[in-house]
Structure 1
Amino acid sequence: MKLRRSTPARALAGLAGAAILSVAAASAATARDTAPETAENPANEAPLHMLVSLDEQQIQVYRGTDLIETSPISSGKRGHSTPTGVFSILEKRRKHFSNLYDNAPMPFMQRLTWSGIALHVGKLPGYPASHGCIRMPRPFAKSLYSMTERGMHVVVTRGQAQPASIRHDVLPQPFVPETTVASLSSETIAADPALRGAIQETPLQASLPVSQPDNPHFDRPLRMIITPQKAPNKIMVLQRLLNQMGYKAGPVDGVAGRKTRAAISLYQEGADLPVTGNITKGLEARIYADAGYEKPQNATLRIRRKFRDVYSAPVTVRNIEREIGTHVFTALDFEQGDKSVEWIAVSAEGERGGSSMDILNRIDMPEKVALEVSKMLTPGTSLTITDRSFKRNTGLGTDFVVITR
């Protein structure tokens, strides 16, 4: 089975189902090897998506949400199982030999981790048989290699899933400045002989477009991730606030010792509360209000471009104590100046934490943050929302890697 080669000038990746390999690129895909000649995509063609199901031992190829091809794979055997999670293509080599397993050939290698997991040509016995890599048939692997570039997403899950279109206010839309409309009043028209006769019964209105500079990074998808932050120690917060108000709660060490309890009792007495020296939710709320303290937002949005951090901002996840799971949302193709873009979603851990829509309903993004992200938005941008930890920069170049097992 062979896929048609296609490398659009700006078609960039979306994420799909069980494992999504976003495939769309700038004009030539090179890593350390020279990219093959490619044909251009028809206009407005949706990005290509690859779904890898470890349970089904299968890759599904989607264009947008339309399934167009499937192919078998062979993933990691027992003791060397292929990890599930959200990855990116870190390196590409037409000819590569394993550094770990007897110099074994790995043609059309596309690296997913620096610890040895990759997509490449290999034997397919009909069951998991590799040392962790995802083996593919040669024709498929060769065609796939011609369509990808570094940074393309790969999302690996156990079960089979499908990409689904999704709409939600939390998902960014392209920023388009409003146009300014200038009106000529009837008095202005009457005072200018040149205008009389040219103007009928309604005032003249001229649209004055606001210039919008081209985004110099428009061909580079953003990699965004929202993760919960560890809640601050409540006792330490109360100690700090009591000290600020002059109640001498002692060192801010998170231990409700003698000095802290005495400060609480003194505060309770002054606030006409039962003097117990104990910390309760009601007491916390009262001290927060008196000290003018606002609880910090409980999650962080981070953004990378070309494997480098470019932005971060606080956001809020409602009901933070509940599971979130791992959900990946990807913007499809759009042009500069477009007012909207479609998104697709995939839950990388099934229904853990709820559906993708359920998770979006729990996200509160400040208006200022939403505006800044909209201005940065590019085709193929992805947003991962997860309660899993993620790997940070390794010094070798990587994106937000989320391991789900």
Structure 2
Amino acid sequence: MLRRIVFGLGLMSATVLSHPASAEAQRSLQVVISKATQSMKIYDGETVVATSRVSTGKSGHTTPSGIFSILEKRKYHESNIYSNAPMPFMQRLTWSGIALHEGHVPDYPASHGCVRLPRGFAKTLFGMTEPGLHVVISDEPVEPVRIEHVNLFAPLKPMPSEPLLSDIDLRPTVKRKTPEPYEVAMNSAETAPDMTVTASISPVERAPLKILVHRRGERETVHDVQVLLNYLGFDAGPADGLAGSKTRDAIAGFKRWKGLPADGARISETFLETLYRTTGKDLPPAGQLLVRENFKPLFEAPVGIREPGKPLGTHFFIATGVDPMQEKAVWHAMTLPNVLTSAERGRLGIAPEASESSASEALDRLDIPSEVKERIATLMSNGTSLTITDQGLGPETGKGTDFVTLTRSKPQVATAQAVSDKPSKPRRPSLRSYRNGVGLY
């Protein structure tokens, strides 16, 4: 009896309105946490399916804001930093230690960086989620709104898994001189009364794609330099986006060949223009699109950004109701406040006073190649997401993660103190760990 009473008290601070019955339905869920109201809402599209109070990080141990996904789930876990503190129904958001878990939930921030959930609801949420589910943490409340736009991907019908046969009788095309009878292959009315054969085009079940669009930065530039220098015969090493000794020597060799100054910036605008012109290539556009699936890099490609001196903002989109046979999907969007410092604006080429774009305006400004759209359209499934941001791969994005986008609503924020159970994992893993033959990250 006492156990039932305690369980009931835990549910008093939470409301579960419905429960997805399948993994396919779970993919459409979004967990949205507001640090200002110390609350959590779980959405299916625009519909709230569950709510709860939470307790986020206290002063000096602030819970980071941004776009995360569940990386790992454990019914029982203990912190190896804070005296083996119990963390039941732990759902990890970063490898540096931020997680959702059961704990004491007062009416104010009290954790060391994690998001505490009331007893009872933590177990319920644990049963509603699966790895890869998105969790959005914001300072002020945000909620998904439905959006339609030509740059939001729509699924394509899968190609037939077997060739279609013609319904036209086959006839010889060469005149025969002999009057003797001969045989030709023809459709059989007995096996195909309507004179047609239909191939199977059932869609293949895939994990949701995680797509990130950001401004090209040093990683992409170095990668292109390595590819082009290797093409010209210089040994720049593997195209991993890291300027190692081979890459530096190859850059110096190219500068000597073209009579470029050896001092100053290693990769200057003059160097890039000369390198691209020498290889007969055009300078790449301002943006980069990256795709992951099951926490692994899948592919990436350059994309154009119109009005590059204006910030894109930080926007999150998720697709539900993905129907390849009807070639339809329903998209919802959330915009998160994200203040860029003056130094960041200068590094990204953004005007100091330029205002951020809305979600629809950010989509308007993207020029995504048609072949990239088509490839994504043939692979997307329910729960496919798109993040647009000015910043590139953050320190929490690494091996075994989706894209983790950190945001801030104020110029200065406290650094989150992680509650990590895997201290051997570096906070900023080497980019070398993510090379897979199709991308650099």
TM-score (norm 1): 0.68
- Structure 1 324/253 Cα, relative in aligned 2: closer, same or farther at 3 Å? farther
Tell me if 1:133 matches 2:152.
no
Are 2:362 and 1:359 equivalent residues in the alignment?
yes
Report the alpha carbon displacement of residue 98 of structure 1 after superposing the two structures with TM.
Answer: 1.3
The reply on whether 1:6 has 2:13 as its aligned counterpart is: no
One-letter identity of the residue aligned with 1:389: G
CA distance in 2, matches of 1:48, 1:91: 17
Which of residues 297, 301, 315 is equivalent to 1:313? 301
Amino acid at match of 2:390: D
1:110–1:365 Cα change, 3 Å:
same
Aligned match for 2:216, one of 229, 239, 243: 229
Structure 1 position 353, deviation (Å):
2.0
Amino acid at match of 1:162: E
Check whether the contact 2:15–2:52 (CA below 8 A) recurs between aligned residues.
no
- Which residue is 2:96 aligned to? 115
CA shift for structure 1 position 151? 1.4
Separation of aligned partners in 2, 1:392 and 1:76: 18
Relative distance call for 1:58 and 1:252 in structure 2 (3 A) is same
**What is the CA–CA distance in structure 2 between the aligned matches of 1:91 and 1:211, rounded to whole Å?**
36
CA contact (8 A) 1:12 1:379 kept: no
The 3-state SS of whatever aligns with 1:334 is strand
Which residue does 2:329 correspond to in 1? 341
SS at match of 1:345: strand
The corresponding residue for 1:97 is: 78
Unaligned runs of 5+ in 1: 14-46, 185-204, 241-247, 257-278
CA contact (8 A) 1:156 1:348 kept: no
Identity %: 39
For each residue in 1:204-262, what CA deviation from the matched residue of structure 2 results, as whole angstroms up to 9, or x when unmatched? x98876653632xx2411111111113869xx9xxx9xxxxxxx851375859xxxxxx
> Could you tell me whether the CA contact under 8 Å between 1:177 and 1:210 is conserved in 2?
no
Q: Which residue of 1 aligns with 2:380?
A: 377
Matched, 1:322 2:325: no
Alpha-carbon offset, residue 392 of structure 1: 7.0
**Aligned partner of residue 138 in structure 1, secondary structure:** coil
Which structure 2 segments of 5+ residues have no match? 1-13, 169-193, 230-256, 340-354, 409-441
Selected match of 1:78 from 51, 59, 68: 59
Amino acid at match of 2:315: H
- Of 169, 185, 194, 2:150 maps to 169
Q: Is the 8 A contact 1:11 1:333 kept in 2?
A: no
Distance across 2 between alignment mates of 1:98 and 1:68: 30
CA–CA distance in structure 2, aligned partners of residues 130 and 9 of structure 1: 31
Cα deviation, 1:17-37, whole Å, max 9, x if unaligned, reads: xxxxxxxxxxxxxxxxxxxxx
Distance 1:211 1:251, change over 3 A: farther
**Distance of aligned partners of 1:326 and 1:393 in 2 relative to their CA distance in 1, 3 Å threshold:** closer
Pair 1:207–1:134, CA change in 2 (3 A): farther
Are the structure 2 counterparts of residues 393 and 206 from structure 1 closer, same or farther at C-alpha, using a change threshold of 3 Å? farther
**1:295 Cα shift?**
2.6
Aligned residues of 1:323 and 1:353 also touching (Cα < 8 A): yes
Residues 227 and 303 of structure 1: CA distance in aligned 2, closer, same or farther (over 3 Å): same
Where 2:68 maps in the other structure, the secondary structure is strand
Give, in whole Å, the separation in 2 of the partners of 1:158 and 1:342: 27
Determine which of 147, 167, 179 is the counterpart of 2:128.
Answer: 147
The answer as to whether partners of 2:105 and 2:118 remain within 8 angstroms in 1 is yes
The change in CA–CA distance for 1:292 and 1:157 in structure 2 (over 3 A counts) is same
Deviation string, structure 1 residues 290-318 (Cα, Å, up to 9, x no partner): 99653312211111111111111111111
Distance 1:318 1:183 in 2: 49
State the alpha-carbon separation in 2 of the partners of residues 356 and 212 from structure 1: 35
* 1:101 positional shift: 1.1
- Amino acid of the structure 1 residue aligned with 2:45: G
Cα separation, 2, equivalents of 1:171 and 1:220: 18
Structure 2 residue aligned with 1:267: none
SS in 1 for 2:321: coil
Moved more, 3-12 or 47-56: 3-12
> Is the 1:181–1:206 contact (alpha carbons within 8 Å) kept by the matching residues of 2?
no
Residues 299/335 of structure 1: CA separation in 2 closer, same or farther (3 Å cut): same
Instruction: Tell me whether 327-336 or 354-363 shows the greater mean CA deviation.
Output: 327-336
Against the structure 1 CA distance between its residues 5 and 12, is the aligned structure 2 distance closer, same or farther, given a 3 Å change threshold?
A: closer
Structure 1 CA distance for aligned equivalents of residues 406 and 159 of structure 2: 42
State the Cα distance separating 1:11 from its structure 2 match.
2.3
1:386 aligns with 2:389: yes
1:250 aligns with 259
Aligned match of 1:296: 284
Return the offset for 1:139: 2.0
1:220 equivalent in structure 2: 207
Using a 3 Å threshold, how does the CA distance of structure 1 residues 117 and 167 change in structure 2: closer, same or farther? same
Offset at residue 177 of structure 1 (A): 6.1
Structure 2 residue 31 is the aligned partner of structure 1 residue 53:
no
Q: How many residues align?
A: 313
Following the alignment from structure 2 to structure 1, what is the Cα–Cα distance between the partners of residues 105 and 396? 34
Q: CA deviation at 1:338?
A: 2.8
8 Å CA contact 2:41, 2:51 repeated in 1? yes
Q: Please report the TM-score for the alignment, with normalisation by the length of structure 2.
A: 0.63
The separation in 2 between residues aligned to 1:324 and 1:213, in whole angstroms, is 38
Partner Cα separation in structure 2 for residue 208 and residue 158 of structure 1: 57
* Map of 2:405 onto structure 1: 402
Measured after TM superposition, the shift of residue 360 of structure 1 is 0.4
CA distance in 1, matches of 2:212, 2:311: 16
